[in-house]
């Protein structure tokens, strides 16, 4: 069954449920694929071979005994290394957490277990999710399966690369400023940032608490919906979790009908600074949606221009506080504890040695922004901008059911190209940040290869909070039309590894 790794998650679940393939076979096929290609891609930081096979055996045993199986029973998945899983190393891509094995499961992991998903291992990421290229990982860069000299996006680059390289049909990422959508866009797959509060953050090691949101990666829209449905829902362990029914994302993905849907093209998220190839594919996508019966118009969100600076005050401010706990006292790295130094000195030495440059930069920015005397000018102003951005969205959503833009201004850049230019790196997330600030749902969907460089281009679809299902309606409709045009999914054009 050598082709098991090319199947969709929905197909694999049905093969396992019907007994045509065992969960162990499915899992082993993906472990073999990881063994074959991950040396080149480096999507995984930790492959939990024993744990994955044990979970697969449990699924097979469950089926054998006639127990009801979860909706994604036996389907393998890559888990971003920012979510806790009992006993499995969780590093967040940082030296400071090297060797830490959490004693508790994140709610996402608990729900994955309940869905009988098989977790293959932990995927690489920019340190503490700070970055757009996975180059900020302390454990080496992940490579884009489309071109191994290019970045797979970030911060969830390990997850996007694992799915794009067929090492797993599904992966979990987290998105604070675009860290699911941007990697999905540059690797030619589907990635969704659910409504803030839609998926529990319990066990998600916080970068920026008011922005972080876990979500699915998949090679097609229906698979993303299945994973979204499996991990979403109210969690009493997360106060910011929304106590409302999960939108019917799977139904919407199956429906795939956008006739009469009002689609707004965000004026501010296009134009100068966008690759010509990206703009071309985007305008073709607009035409495609029109041809599918959508009513397309132009939306204006004037305050989106201020989203980037607001984000780079709010996120580092929260991070400077969230990352304080890595102080060598209770877990993780400890440096300089030779019996002569004070606790404070050990804390300082550990943090100096354990955090990478980008993390330190953001801790310093955040510390400064929250300082007495500067708070109002920086953090306070940024929160006001955030409110204005939410109002822009609210006004636009009165006229439109969804908003669209390119997911990123450019395709995947080369490894090393922006690593010394933080501002240029930050611009990567220009299109995705507004949805984090406003907390609404947002998806990236592959819409073709750029004629400039032959690399994937993503379409971003944004929906109001708690209307995540609209993303899947649009995504599934566009995907079906494109598949009809191409005869296959975009990812199938990726070069063989």
Partner 1 sequence: MTATYDEALSMFEPVFGLETHVELGTNSKMFCGCATAFGAAPNTQVCPVCLGLPGSLPVVNAVAIESAIRIGLALHCSIAPWGRFARKNYFYPDMPKDFQISQYDEPICVDGYLDVEVGDEVVRVGIERVHMEEDTGKSLHVVGSTGRIHGATHSLVDYNRAGIPLIEIVTKPVPGTGRLAPEVARAYVTELRETVRALGVSDVRMEEGSLRCDVNLSLNPVGSAEWGTRSETKNVNSLRSVERAVRSEIERQAGVLAAGGRVVQETRHFHEDTGLTTSGRSKEQAEDYRYFPEPDLVPIAPSSEWIESLRATLPELPFDRRRRLRDEWGISALDMQAALNAGAVDSIEATIAAGAPARDAYKWWMGELARQANERGVEVSTLPITPGDVARLSVLVADGKLTDKLARQVLDGVLAGEGTPDDVVAARGLEVVSDDAALGAAVDAAIAENPDIAQKVRDGKVAAAGALVGAVMKATGGKADAARVRELVLKTLAG
Among residue numbers 59 through 118, which ones bind partner 1 (CB under 8 A)? Answer: 83-84, 90, 92, 97, 100, 102-104, 106
To the query of whether residue 179 is one of the catalytic residues in this protein, the response is yes
CA-CA distance, 442 to 307, in Å (whole number)? 16
Q: Does 372 bind partner 1 (CB under 8 A)?
A: yes
Q: Does 338 bind partner 1 (CB under 8 A)?
A: no
CA-CA distance, 267 to 388, in Å (whole number)? 17
Q: Does 329 bind partner 1 (CB under 8 A)?
A: yes
Q: Which of 306, 312, 355, 379 binds partner 1 (CB under 8 A)?
A: 379
- Residue closer to partner 1 by CB (options 67, 337) is 337
- Residue 111, Cα to own-chain centre: how many angstroms? 17
- Residue closer to partner 1 by CB (options 36, 370) is 370
Q: Which of 49, 300, 367, 381 binds partner 1 (CB under 8 A)?
A: 367
Question: Which residue's entry shows tokens 């860069």?
Answer: 141
Report how far apart, in Å, the C-alpha atoms of 445 and of each of 152, 312, 439, 457, 477 are: 15, 26, 19, 8, 11
To the query of whether residue 155 is one of the catalytic residues in this protein, the response is yes
Closest Cα partner for 181 from 194, 199, 170? 194
Question: Which residue's entry shows tokens 């922004």?
Answer: 369
Residue 492 CB coordination number (10 Å): 13
Measure CA of the first residue to CA of the last residue in the chain; give whole Å.
Answer: 19
Cβ at position 238, least distance to partner 1 in Å: 5
Q: Does 390 bind partner 1 (CB under 8 A)?
A: no
Q: Kindly name the residue from 22, 80, 132, 442 that is annotated as catalytic.
A: 80
Cβ at position 142, least distance to partner 1 in Å: 22
Q: Does 331 bind partner 1 (CB under 8 A)?
A: yes
Q: Does 205 bind partner 1 (CB under 8 A)?
A: yes
Closest Cα partner for 194 from 142, 247, 148, 153? 247
CA-CA distance, 419 to 137, in Å (whole number)? 12
Among residue numbers 408 through 437, which ones bind partner 1 (CB under 8 A)? Answer: none
Cβ at position 198, least distance to partner 1 in Å: 15
Strands (E) located in 33-74 = 44-47
Cβ at position 72, least distance to partner 1 in Å: 23
Q: Supply φ then ψ for residue 16, to 5 degrees.
A: -70, -45
Number of residues forming the site for partner 1 (CB under 8 A): 45
Can you state the angle between helices 49-64 and 23-41, rounded to 10 degrees? 160
Closest Cα partner for 207 from 150, 134, 263, 129? 129
Q: Which of 16, 34, 185, 204 binds partner 1 (CB under 8 A)?
A: 204
Sign of CA dihedral 15, 122, 459, 446: negative
Q: Are the beta carbons of 155 and 125 closer than 8 angstroms?
A: yes
Task: List 216's β-bridge partners, or say none.
Answer: 172
List alpha helices for 270-370, DSSP H: 276-291, 307-322, 343-354, 357-370
Q: Does 266 bind partner 1 (CB under 8 A)?
A: no
Among residue numbers 117 through 156, which ones bind partner 1 (CB under 8 A)? Answer: none
Cβ at position 339, least distance to partner 1 in Å: 7
Cβ at position 317, least distance to partner 1 in Å: 6
Q: Half-sphere exposure of residue 61, counting CA atoms within 13 Å on the CB side?
A: 6
Q: Does 244 bind partner 1 (CB under 8 A)?
A: no
Report the phi/psi class of residue 258: left, alpha or beta, with left for phi > 0 and alpha for psi in -120 to 50: alpha
- Residue closer to partner 1 by CB (options 14, 209) is 209
76-80 and 118-123 beta bridge pairing: parallel
Cβ at position 435, least distance to partner 1 in Å: 17
Task: List 78's β-bridge partners, or say none.
Answer: 121, 171
Q: Does 485 bind partner 1 (CB under 8 A)?
A: no
Q: Kindly name the residue from 22, 133, 137, 155 that is annotated as catalytic.
A: 155
Cβ at position 42, least distance to partner 1 in Å: 23
Among residue numbers 288 through 327, which ones bind partner 1 (CB under 8 A)? Answer: 317-318, 320-321, 324-327
CA-CA distance, 136 to 151, in Å (whole number)? 11
Strands (E) located in 246-308 = 262-266, 295-299
Binding string to partner 1 for residues 1 to 30, with x set by CB under 8 A, is what? ------------------------------
Q: Which range binds partner 1 by CB under 8 A, 147-155, 256-264, 281-289, 364-372?
A: 364-372
- Residue closer to partner 1 by CB (options 6, 209) is 209
Cβ at position 243, least distance to partner 1 in Å: 11
CA-CA distance, 497 to 36, in Å (whole number)? 9
Residue 383 CB coordination number (10 Å): 16
Q: Kindly name the residue from 133, 137, 160, 179 that is annotated as catalytic.
A: 179
- Residue closer to partner 1 by CB (options 90, 407) is 90
To the query of whether residue 239 is one of the catalytic residues in this protein, the response is no
Q: Which range binds partner 1 by CB under 8 A, 61-69, 71-79, 161-169, 206-214?
A: 206-214
**Catalytic residue annotation:** 80, 155, 179
Could you list the residues that contact partner 1 (CB under 8 A)? Answer: 83-84, 90, 92, 97, 100, 102-104, 106, 201-206, 208-210, 236-240, 317-318, 320-321, 324-327, 329-331, 339, 343-344, 347, 367, 370-372, 375, 379
């Amino acid at each position: 069954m050598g082709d098991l790794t090319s199947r969709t998650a929905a197909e694999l679940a049905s093969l396992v449920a019907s007994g045509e393939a065992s969960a162990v076979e499915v899992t082993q096929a993906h472990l073999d694929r990881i063994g074959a290609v991950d040396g080149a891609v480096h999507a995984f930081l930790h492959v939990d071979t024993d744990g994955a096979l044990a979970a697969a055996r449990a699924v097979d045993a469950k089926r054998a005994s006639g127990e009801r199986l979860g909706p994604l029973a036996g389907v393998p998945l890559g888990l971003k290394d920012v979510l806790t899983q009992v006993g499995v190393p969780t590093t967040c891509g940082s030296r400071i957490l090297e060797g830490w094995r959490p004693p508790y499961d994140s709610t996402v992991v608990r729900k994955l277990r309940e869905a009988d998903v098989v977790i293959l291992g932990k995927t690489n990421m920019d340190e503490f999710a700070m970055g757009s290229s996975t180059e900020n990982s302390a454990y080496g860069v992940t490579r884009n399966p489309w071109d191994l000299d290019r970045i797979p996006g970030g911060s969830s680059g390990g997850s996007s690369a694992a799915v794009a390289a067929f090492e797993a049909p599904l992966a979990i990422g987290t998105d604070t400023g675009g860290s699911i959508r941007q990697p999905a866009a540059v690797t030619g797959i589907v990635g969704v940032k659910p409504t803030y509060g839609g998926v529990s953050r319990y066990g998600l090691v916080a970068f920026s608490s008011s922005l972080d949101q876990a979500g699915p990666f998949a090679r097609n829209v229906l698979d993303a919906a299945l994973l979204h449905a499996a991990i979403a829902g109210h969690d009493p362990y997360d106060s910011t979790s929304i106590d409302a029914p999960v939108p019917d994302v799977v139904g919407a993905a199956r429906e795939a009908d956008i006739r009469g849907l009002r689609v707004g093209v965000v004026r501010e998220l296009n134009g100068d600074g966008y690759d010509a190839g990206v703009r071309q594919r985007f305008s073709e996508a607009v035409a495609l949606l029109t041809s599918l019966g959508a009513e397309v118009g132009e939306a204006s969100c004037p305050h989106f221009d201020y989203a980037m600076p607001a984000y780079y005050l709010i996120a580092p401010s929260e991070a400077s506080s969230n990352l304080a706990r890595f102080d060598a006292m209770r877990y993780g790295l400890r440096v300089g504890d030779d019996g002569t130094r004070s606790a404070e000195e050990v804390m300082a030495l550990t943090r100096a040695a354990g955090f990478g440059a980008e993390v330190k930069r953001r801790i310093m920015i955040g510390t400064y922004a929250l300082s007495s005397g500067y708070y109002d000018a920086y953090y306070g102003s940024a929160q006001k901008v955030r409110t204005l951005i939410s109002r822009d969205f609210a006004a636009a959503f009165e006229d439109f059911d969804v908003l669209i833009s390119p997911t990123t201004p450019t395709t995947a850049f080369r490894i090393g190209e922006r690593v010394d230019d933080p501002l240029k790196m930050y611009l990567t997330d220009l299109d995705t940040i507004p949805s984090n600030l406003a907390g609404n749902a947002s998806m990236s969907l592959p819409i073709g290869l750029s004629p400039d460089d032959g690399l994937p281009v993503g379409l971003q679809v944004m929906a109001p909070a708690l209307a995540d299902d609209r993303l899947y309606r649009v995504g599934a409709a566009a995907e079906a039309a494109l598949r009809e045009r191409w005869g296959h999914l975009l990812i199938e054009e990726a070069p063989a590894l």
